[in-house]
Structures are given as structure tokens and as C-alpha cells.
Structure 1
């Protein structure tokens, strides 16, 4: 088949014949196809045939579409394609892994990484496909009523426009010189240069940004010798040694070990630090939490009331990530996937499909045989002519 010279420069399957004509050999095409399938398996390792909407508010990998949603003017300069200044802004929205592939292929999709307590917005009032593509999520097309609904418990921030950190910078992996770490509570990501010098990786398990530290006393006042407080001053991290907790009984394990902490009997004594005013005087500071820090979160009646009201139950219960299901066909070629699909079909339909494929294959071979005998290049119009013949019944 012939193509253009520009295409040949970009497509590894293209070659230049002795007459200077651009052609694609069958061998080079198969090699290029195998490379594409291998790359796709690496980029899309999980199945994408089911939306997570029905799983409710879960912790999952999220994505945003900057084609279907439009940021306010202050965020447009950082976007890959900022759009016209007079374009109306929309509400931010997030979608699951499957919808980012099935519903928004070819769009400007950005990865938001893992966020918790979030329900997929695709197909809801916040995230509808363009009219020419159908208004509802393709994986939930039988439920058009979702287009009138919103996920009221979802929380959005500047990440949904591609902005991160306290510096409000658009995330472009190729431009990032340093490292970024994620706040365990708000799930935003922060540049190491904006935080200050970090402790070594083996000195802490989780990081909590200074905004969350200021907002949530149940974290700020944890009383534990296992906790590392990190305060940033002039680019340096200083340790704030916690008061000894030897006099405070550990009642965090009262009740059944299998019962969620939020449902267990509440300890009567609060385990928060007694020197709260001294800690407050040191703000603002970040937290670098040492391994095992969750066992020191207080679950007394008052603290649990704050934890539940602030949607921080993940501090005392399981916080698993719902990942896309592994794709059993990962690594298979398109041919292998098609043959496996054929074996699962109804026997009669499978025979009909195999017969139709054999007939088409035989006809194509007969049509191409003269080209092979003469060494003539097969051009796009030749293939088009073949299918026109098939449609006409010849």
C-alpha cells in the first residue's frame, strides 16, 4: 500500500521503494502492530469495560477531561490547550479509569492519581459527552436519567484543572525537575521545593500538608513518641519532639479486632497531646508521620465525632484503593483475542462467523495474487475497489 512521504517519516511501518514511492510492507506492518499492542498493554494494564459508578464513593484512580470541562480563566494559561478566553467555565468533574478510555478517547485527559471518597461523574450532570457523541456515559448508556444527577458528596479542587501544590502550577511530567509527594489527607501533591528539605524516605511513612494540619486537630495533636512533626523554616525541616505518652493508656484496640474502629466502644480518655497551645504556636508546619502512626489516632467520643464530621474515617478504618480489574487478555495479540472471543460464541454463530471470515480471506488472497506476481504496489484505491466488489456481490 502506498502513502505519503510525511507519513513515512513518522510511521515505522513505512518504507521507500526503489522508485522513491512510499510503501508499507506486510512484514513491517505486523512488526509495527506488535509494538503498538505491547505499548498499549503497558499503558492500559486493566480492564476498562465497567464503570465504577455503582460502587459508590470509593478510593480509586481518577482522571479529568479538559475537552468536556473548561477551567476558570485563572487556570487556562497552564492547560495544554487553554481554549479561548470567552469560553464559559464549567464545574470540575472526575471520572474512573474505564470511562477515561471508553468515553473520552481522543480527548485531553489528565491523570489525577488516587483520590478517596469519590464517585465517577461521567454521564452525570457534571460530565456529559458532546452531543454528537451521545450525552450519556457509554458504559451507562441504558441509564440516561444520570444526566440530571450530581454526586453531591464528591469534593473537587484545583487538581481537576491539572493544577497542584500550594504554588498552583500545572503538572507537566516532562517539566518537573524535582519530586512531588502526596498529602495523605487531601490527596493534593506538593513539590519538594515548595515544602522545603524533606526527611529521608525511611524516616516517615506518610506526609500531611500544612493546610490539613491546620484544619484537623485530631492529626495535629496526636500524642505519640512514634510521630515526627516536621516544620518548615527557611527551607529546613526541624523536628518537634512530642511529649511522652507513657502516662496515657492505649485504648485504641478496645472491642473486636474485626469490627471497624468507628463502631467499637469509645475510650473514655482522650489521647491527644496535652500541650495543644504550644503546638499551635509552631504553625504553620507539615507532618511527616512515622510508620504505625494510625494506631495513635484518638478514637474517644469527641475525636470520633470530629473524624466523622470531617470525613476522616479512613484514619481509623481500612483505606483500600479500588484498582481496575486485571485484564486477562493482557499481552495477547488482536488475533489471539479475536480467536478467544470466537470460542465463547454460540456454536452456530461461531461457525457462521468462521465461514464468513474464511470466504473473505480467500477472496482477498485471490484479488491480491496478481499484485504479488507482478510486484505491483497495492494502493488504497485498490483495497477500496476490493470492498466495493464485495458489496456488489461479485
Structure 2
């Protein structure tokens, strides 16, 4: 018999690996994954879009139409601000409008991303239909089809990509990289796009002239670390046992869960949090004992009582 509760729970944590109980607003303007809720804010290009953080996209907008914008630099969650039409369930108060959001600059090179458009071709992204590879510019964070950059491009031949729209911003810096004799860490194609080889940052010049770029473009000198919420699962040995069971179920019945609605996955996250907390406390009673038949009976009784408690809660 398939334990679908366990199956859904494991799928939930593979899809949503981070905690969803804290909005990222307090982090300020940071590099983070953001989403746009088309239900709450169906803004057309030229209007003001709004973005939500990872946690709010799930906890506050689970049943809405969500569009992922991927990583954006120096951006803040709008979910708990006064101009958001829906309620933020993770913050108790409404904060002032974010006045430094990058999408407020209509001349920014990735401006069209906030309205679901990407690449030089200004096309929408449909994950169910798109077959081309896409590359993200490390400067503007726009995404580009490989075929729009260069025909027959070898995606394994370079580490980082800077689009032709951004290259003029630091042309002297990149020309210096090209001028280095060792391994040529930087190359251009005929369109002006720039390809950076592996470990290119280790070859970056730090003379006074080049360091002037560091203040404005720090990502050229050191790799950026995006903000992520804390991971939701920190497994104890007992939880590892449970996780192994869930993985086995998931592997055997992957197709059974392919059409599960998002709310079911999110509900499972909360159910698993409850189960994890109670099971941890339960296992502390046996941490110094050998797993015996008697202990196994206690474990079986724990799950029976938890299941009964869950049923009473639903009723």
C-alpha cells in the first residue's frame, strides 16, 4: 500500500527545500530569488510590478498564478508593503513602499523580465514548451537563448557570460582581461557578448585603475552569494531513517505525484514540520537504547497516535 502522505511530503521538500515561515523583507535589498504574482499584480509593461520572496510566494500566494523571475540583485520583497493588495501572512504589519527597487528603472537592461519577457528577442518563457538552452548574464541577470547569442555555441567552453548590452559598462576592464597572456580568461564573439573562462576571477587585475570598477561592479572581483532562507530539513539520525523511507516511496511512485496541486504540496510541508518535531522529541527517549522489538512497538504506537491526532484535527 502506498503511503501517499509520506509521498507528498517528500515531494514537498524536494520542490521547496527552504523554510517558508519568514519573509525576507528584513534582509533589505539583497541578491535573492524573486517571483511575481500575476493574480495580485497583473501589471502591464510600463506600470509598476511587484515581487515576492521565496517564502511569500508559497505561504502567501500558493493558490495564485506565480511567475518565477530567478535571481535579481539588490531587490526587496514587496509582499508586506502597503501597496500590496493581498495580505502577507508572514509579517504582522504593512511597511512603506520599497523605493529603491531595480524594476523602477525603466532603462535597466532587465526591465522586461519583470513583465515575463527575456532575451534579445523579448519573448516569454514557457518551461513546458521551451527547448533551447538559456544563459544568464552575470551583470544584468537577464536570460538569453543560446541560439540568440551565437549559433552552435559550446556551453561547456566557458564559465560565465556577459551580454553585449552590459559589456560597454566595463569595456576597459574586460579588454585588460583579454590582454592577459595566460589562458586568455576573457573572449568576445562577433556580436560583442563576452565569455569568461573557469577561475577568471583569480586572474582579475587589482591595480588602482581596475579597482575603480570594484566599487560599482563587485561581482567582477568576487563571486556573489544569494540570500536563501534557512534550509527546512536538518536531519537527525532518526529523521534520516524516515527520509530513507520517503525516498524509496518517491522513487517507486514518481509518476503518481506528477499532477499533485501546489496546495497539497504546501500542506504537506506543514504536516511534516509537526511530525518532525514530535518524532524528534519521541526519539530522544530512546537515544541510548538498542532498537529492539519493544522499541519498535513504541515507534508503531507513536505513528498510530499521530495519525489519530491528525484525523481528529481534520474532523
Which residue in 1 is equivalent to 2:38? 66
Cα contact 1:66–1:107 (8 A) shared by 2 = yes
Is the aligned partner of 1:204 residue 2:158?
Answer: yes
Is the aligned partner of 1:184 residue 2:138?
Answer: yes
Indicate which of 34, 48, 51 corresponds to 2:23.
Answer: 51
Cα contact 2:78–2:98 (8 A) shared by 1 = yes
Which residue in 2 is equivalent to 1:113? 70
Which residue in 2 is equivalent to 1:314? 219
- Structure 1 vs Structure 2 CA RMSD: 3.3
Q: State the distance in 2 between where 1:228 and 1:361 align.
A: 63
Cα contact 1:119–1:154 (8 A) shared by 2 = no
Q: State the distance in 2 between where 1:301 and 1:114 align.
A: 31
Cα contact 1:125–1:150 (8 A) shared by 2 = no
* TM-score, normalising length: structure 1: 0.55
Note closer, same or farther for the CA distance 1:57–1:335 as it changes in structure 2 (3 Å cut).
Answer: closer
Q: State the distance in 1 between where 2:280 and 2:101 align.
A: 41
Deviation at 1:220, TM superposition (A): 3.6
Which residue in 2 is equivalent to 1:138? 89
Structure scoring higher RCO (CA < 8 A, sep ≥ 6) equals 2
Note closer, same or farther for the CA distance 1:293–1:335 as it changes in structure 2 (3 Å cut).
Answer: closer
Q: State the distance in 1 between where 2:13 and 2:91 align.
A: 25
Cα contact 2:28–2:76 (8 A) shared by 1 = yes
Is the aligned partner of 1:160 residue 2:114?
Answer: yes
Is the aligned partner of 1:227 residue 2:201?
Answer: no
Indicate which of 168, 171, 177 corresponds to 1:217.
Answer: 171
Deviation at 1:41, TM superposition (A): 2.1
Cα contact 2:174–2:186 (8 A) shared by 1 = no
Which residue in 2 is equivalent to 1:150? 98
Q: State the distance in 1 between where 2:308 and 2:10 align.
A: 26
Deviation at 1:53, TM superposition (A): 1.8
Deviation at 1:63, TM superposition (A): 1.3
Q: State the distance in 2 between where 1:54 and 1:318 align.
A: 23
Cα contact 2:120–2:144 (8 A) shared by 1 = yes
Indicate which of 124, 127, 133 corresponds to 2:81.
Answer: 124
Q: State the distance in 1 between where 2:204 and 2:50 align.
A: 32
Q: State the distance in 2 between where 1:323 and 1:336 align.
A: 21
Cα contact 1:60–1:118 (8 A) shared by 2 = yes
Across the two proteins, how many residue pairs are aligned to each other? Answer: 249
Cα contact 1:62–1:95 (8 A) shared by 2 = yes
* TM-score, normalising length: structure 2: 0.67
Note closer, same or farther for the CA distance 1:155–1:317 as it changes in structure 2 (3 Å cut).
Answer: farther
**Greater C-alpha radius of gyration:** 1
Q: Deviations over 1:150-172 (max 9, x none)?
A: 14153462112221101111110
Is the aligned partner of 1:293 residue 2:200?
Answer: yes
- Secondary structure at the counterpart of residue 117 of structure 1: strand
